Structure 1
Amino acid sequence: MKNLIVNRLSQVTFKNRIIVIFLISTFIPFICLGVISFYTIDSIIDNKVENSIQSNLKQDLVTLENSLNNINHVSQQLAFGGRVTLLLEALQKETEPSQRIELLSEIKSEINLISFSNPNVGLIMYYYPETGLHDFENFRLRDDFLPEQLPVMAKYSGITYYGPHKSYSGYINQFVFSSMRKVNISNHNIYLYIETGRNALETLFAPQNRKDDSRRLLILNNEGRVTFSENKDVFPENNMFPGYSSEAKSGYYDTYFWSKETSNQGWSIVSIIPVKELNQERNKWLLQVSIIFIVFILISLLFAWFLWKMVYNPLNKFNKEIKTLIQTETQNTEVTKIPEFDYLLNQVRTMKTKIWDLYREVEQKEKRRADLEVEKLLYQINPHFLMNTLDTVRWLAVFNGNKEIDKLVLSLNKLLSYNLGKMGEETTVEKEIQAVKEYLQLQQIRYDFQFDVDIDVDENTMGISIPRFILQPLVENALYHGVSDNGYIHVDIKLMDNLQITIQDNGSGMSKEEIEALLLDQKDESQKVGMGIGMRYVKRILESNYGDKAKLEIKSEVGKGTIVSIFLPVSGGENTQ
């Protein structure tokens, strides 16, 4: 499974990776911020809406309590020990018609005075439950008065509150609250009935006058039963309020959110509002955020496309440069106008130039190597033929008992066999020194003058690899061009930071001009014999194998001899720079 995922990811293009990474790096902070903002604003909106509903509900509760307190206050004036109560008690005892008429007139005047001084009080009358009659009403009654049909909101000792219900007053057609209290007159069963006035609860039960038309009200009695409902389909009257609890102040039922406030007397007023309207402000905010999010996505995609183009164009130029890297040497001068990419592009072009320079250098080295092979063949004078001939001469010397000729031919044969190896092929210091010794042994027999040879080799250098056939030409040059009678040749090989090879003679020496001409290879073709051929060969071998890492030095004074020094890196090998 892991390999499958890795394989699929490896097939995703660079363009798609850039876009995905850009979108992820952009959207993750935005989404996190959006989630945090959503919960924060959602909480703020909930608190704002709930606080607003609760505030309005408290205001309604205060309005209703004030109205009920007002009718309670008036009822106390008319039912307990006031002037009206005294007049009623006197009326009940009076039998004289004229006095009764006067008392009736005074009672009505007192009631009208109290009604006038309390504008939030509506219908006032006295009710006789035993006969079902009523008297002293300040307004005309609309229908027959049937108190047993009124919705009981709260019932306490001595007083009962009703409502809301349609007013019995013939002058108003609206919902009112009312109360009924027993009048404190001995030996008589009389009750005082009072309603709230026209304007007392107009804003409470007139939805068209509310700021929020979606809000509806319920009135619950002390037991939690609905005594009044503005939404009878969901919350019917005379039914228990769903999930009623005196401690709960808000909650959800069906598709409605409800909030409740309870009065000091125990009855409650409930505000209900549809959840969809409750969420209207939240949905409006979500719509705004969604629009912003879509715009943000479009902007992010646009920036991702710009980012891709900004990366793709330089990559396309890199691709062209790499394709033409080994096809043509022509340099392109196009730029991306982005400093970092232009720097890399210039590096690629610089690398291209170095590759072509190296290619030409390799061509030149191969050409020089071929020239050296030809020169070596000419220098060796067909060694295969010589070796075969020398073998024949050696065996003839052996048969004739001539040991000097046998020794001479054996040394020459070994030397030619060693020199026949491939030009530039690696050998060791030990084998190179052995070849030089064979060569010097031949030369001591050949020349008629005496010379001394001192070979001083550090034992630690014996196994170090060096190119074949670089010591003999230098020793030969010292012997041919520097040594005569009582001559001296010193070969010194030691290991320092590098391998140091020194060949010193006490011959005639050279001038500075001759040294410079020899090192710079300035001799013409007619002069390229003897020392010129040997030195030129060594220089070519060193350049071919070590490049600039090897060093050849010549120090000489006329009449005092010559010192030729070679400095080789210990690692050796073909130069690749």
Structure 2
Amino acid sequence: MLSMLRDSIKGRLIAILLLSSIVPLALLGGLSYYSFHSFMENKLKSGINENLKKELTSLDNILKNLNFASQQLALDKTITSRIQEYLTTDDQIRKTDILLSVLDRMSLINYTSPFAGVIALVDEKEKRPFIQSYPIIDKIDMFDNPLLLEANGVSYFAPHPSTDKYNNDHTQVFSLARKVNDYGTKTSFYVYTESNFNTLKRLFENVQYGEPVKHLLLNADNQIVYSEDLARFPLHAKFKTEDKSVKDLRFIAESDQGWKLAVVMKGDAFQKELNSWLGKFVTVGLFTLMLSLLLAYICWRTIYRPLNVFRREIEWVGDNPSYRPQKWLRLREFDEVLGRFYAMKERVFDLLKEIERREKARSNVEVEKLKHQINPHFIHNTLNTVQVIAKMNKQNEIVKLITHFTRILHYNLGKEGTHVRVREEVDNINDYIALQSIRYSHQFEVAMKVDPSTVDVMIPRFVLQPLVENAIYHGFRNRNGTVSVSIEPLPEGGITMCVSDNGEGMPEERLQSLLEEKGPESRSVGMGIGLSFVHRLIQAYYGPSSGLRIESRLGIGTSITIVIRTGKGGEQP
């Protein structure tokens, strides 16, 4: 499986696209999960702590308001003296006056204190109310209520059922009891003040951030004095700020007097939000992976199709090198490469055709060379010359003639190979000139100029002799003349061999016929090798940039140059 992914374009594309999707997705998912978790947790905790502080402040204001209401009765000397008189006098009319006066004060207190509810004066010994703002029960055991705080002679009680006589719903209220002593009459009583029925309902929010919460009130010793969940947090039990056995969230705010307000929540809303986010993230992740696989498949198809076209085109070129309609992919980059491939293919086909043509030309040249290596007329004429010389009893000339003739025949037969060095070609030319000077009655001179750097250059056999022969046969026509032969190197590689004469010259139309295979001037003379054969032989071995170049002017002479290029632009045989 790993090797398939590693060794194929399809596998690598799938791996790259999957990694390019999974890695950023994993990094983004991990970072967003951490950020989301941190944000939700911090937001939840900070929000609940903030709400808790607000509730703590509100509760503290309620207790202060109740304390202030009790102070208006307990610290007012006029009121307290009247209350003491009420407790000690037997005058019913006076008691009634005092009762009305105290009730007026209580009504005023209720009116000016937004949180005050029941206000009662309770006898210390019998715990019975003797003056109250509302009808209440006959006996108040206030100290049986859970004590939240005791400070400066005032006892603050946690929520408990109201003493209202008509409290059928058992509504819970806050309360406090302040003791008032009169050392002159040796009497004492309690100013008992409750919060109104709506105070507790408005104080605590039972749902925060979509999560149900439970409120607890703790005294300075962390004992539970009020609980909204008595099953889990019973009264007077010690409250733990952390409980590893139970998965919940606990928050505590402490007042300046030492009592505390706590909130407990399960955290389901937070976990629900987290699970919802995880579900969405997994959905997006799966969609991204599916999209990556789809894109990988599309990319693979986009690349595979051009590669398949390339493969088929290459196989077609290898198996069947013939014409085939071009196929285009309509993808700019691939079409550019494919266009270059088609151009290369055309070039290869052209080269193959050129090679085939040259091989055929070489074969034809070799066959033609074999056909014309020895001209029977030349041998016949030579033998006649030998016969004439023999009659004249010039035996030394006969020996000389036979010697040159034998060398030429041996060189012409070419049994040492198709190519010779320049020096060998020059030696053959010297033999040929010596032979022709004996044969012809007119005099001609041959001037040889060979650059020393060219004597070891390999050239095709028997290409220089036809040029000298052409100069002797066609240039002078039985009159004296001079033939110049020069061989020089080319700067770019190769050599030039030039044969010039100062003979009759020829018109322009005859120049072209010399190089034509079936032209009027191409018929064989002497050794039987024409200029057209030499021209085709040179081009067959060295390419179209090489060959014969002929220049001629009537009455001045003719110059024939063999150009053999073996450097840039030329070819090696």
Q: What is the TM-score of this pair, normalised by structure 2?
A: 0.81
| Change beyond 3 A, Cα 1:486–1:357 | closer
**Structure 2 CA distance, aligned partners of 1:531 and 1:442?**
12
The residue type paired with residue 562 of structure 1 is T
Q: Which residue of 1 is the match for residue 465 of structure 2?
A: 472
1:541 to 537, 548, 555: 537
Cα contact 1:428–1:465 (8 A) shared by 2: yes
1:458 to 451, 468, 471: 451
| Change beyond 3 A, Cα 1:77–1:361 | same
Q: Which residue of 2 is the match for residue 165 of structure 1?
A: 160
Cα contact 1:128–1:191 (8 A) shared by 2: yes
TM-superposed deviation, 1:198: 0.3
Q: Which residue of 1 is the match for residue 387 of structure 2?
A: none
TM-superposed deviation, 1:19: 3.5
Instruction: Map residues 387-398 of structure 1 onto 2, 5 A cutoff.
Output: none
Count of aligned pairs: 549
3-state SS in 1 of match to 2:182: coil
TM-superposed deviation, 1:199: 0.7
Q: Which residue of 1 is the match for residue 343 of structure 2?
A: 350
**Structure 2 CA distance, aligned partners of 1:241 and 1:373?**
119
Q: Which residue of 2 is the match for residue 559 of structure 1?
A: 555
TM-superposed deviation, 1:202: 0.9
Q: Which runs of 5+ in 1 are unaligned?
A: 245-250, 387-401
| Change beyond 3 A, Cα 1:357–1:49 | same
1:519 matches 2:511: no
**Structure 2 CA distance, aligned partners of 1:350 and 1:123?**
108
3-state SS in 1 of match to 2:530: helix
Q: Which residue of 1 is the match for residue 299 of structure 2?
A: 307
| Change beyond 3 A, Cα 1:553–1:58 | same
TM-superposed deviation, 1:555: 0.5
TM-superposed deviation, 1:122: 2.5
The residue type paired with residue 281 of structure 1 is E
Instruction: Map residues 59-98 of structure 1 onto 2, 5 A cutoff.
Output: 59-81=54-76, 83-94=78-89, 96=91
| Change beyond 3 A, Cα 1:211–1:329 | closer
3-state SS in 1 of match to 2:543: helix
**Structure 1 CA distance, aligned partners of 2:266 and 2:396?**
132
Q: Which residue of 1 is the match for residue 480 of structure 2?
A: 485
The residue type paired with residue 176 of structure 1 is V
Cα contact 1:70–1:121 (8 A) shared by 2: yes
The residue type paired with residue 185 of structure 1 is D
**Structure 1 CA distance, aligned partners of 2:508 and 2:558?**
11
Q: Which residue of 1 is the match for residue 383 of structure 2?
A: none
| Change beyond 3 A, Cα 1:526–1:440 | closer
TM-superposed deviation, 1:438: 4.5
The residue type paired with residue 454 of structure 2 is T
| Change beyond 3 A, Cα 1:325–1:103 | same
3-state SS in 1 of match to 2:567: coil
Q: Which residue of 2 is the match for residue 176 of structure 1?
A: 173
The residue type paired with residue 324 of structure 1 is W
**Structure 1 CA distance, aligned partners of 2:59 and 2:415?**
122
The residue type paired with residue 228 of structure 1 is Y
**Structure 1 CA distance, aligned partners of 2:72 and 2:486?**
146
Q: Which residue of 2 is the match for residue 373 of structure 1?
A: 366
TM-superposed deviation, 1:89: 2.9
3-state SS in 2 of match to 1:87: helix
**Structure 2 CA distance, aligned partners of 1:469 and 1:90?**
164
1:273 matches 2:265: yes
Cα contact 1:72–1:179 (8 A) shared by 2: yes
Q: Which residue of 1 is the match for residue 145 of structure 2?
A: 150
| Change beyond 3 A, Cα 1:38–1:452 | farther
Note the alpha carbon deviations across 1:372-408, whole angstroms, 9 max, x for none: 111222233399xx9xxxxxxxxxxxxxxx8776666
Instruction: Map residues 27-46 of structure 1 onto 2, 5 A cutoff.
Output: 28-29=23-24, 31-46=26-41
TM-superposed deviation, 1:41: 4.6
Cα contact 1:478–1:489 (8 A) shared by 2: no
**Structure 1 CA distance, aligned partners of 2:420 and 2:250?**
104
The residue type paired with residue 175 of structure 1 is Q
| Change beyond 3 A, Cα 1:8–1:292 | closer
Note the alpha carbon deviations across 1:528-566, whole angstroms, 9 max, x for none: 556984322322232222223325311012232211223
TM-superposed deviation, 1:200: 1.2
The residue type paired with residue 498 of structure 2 is T
TM-superposed deviation, 1:74: 0.6
Q: Please provide the CA RMSD for this pair.
A: 4.0
3-state SS in 1 of match to 2:200: coil
TM-superposed deviation, 1:64: 1.8
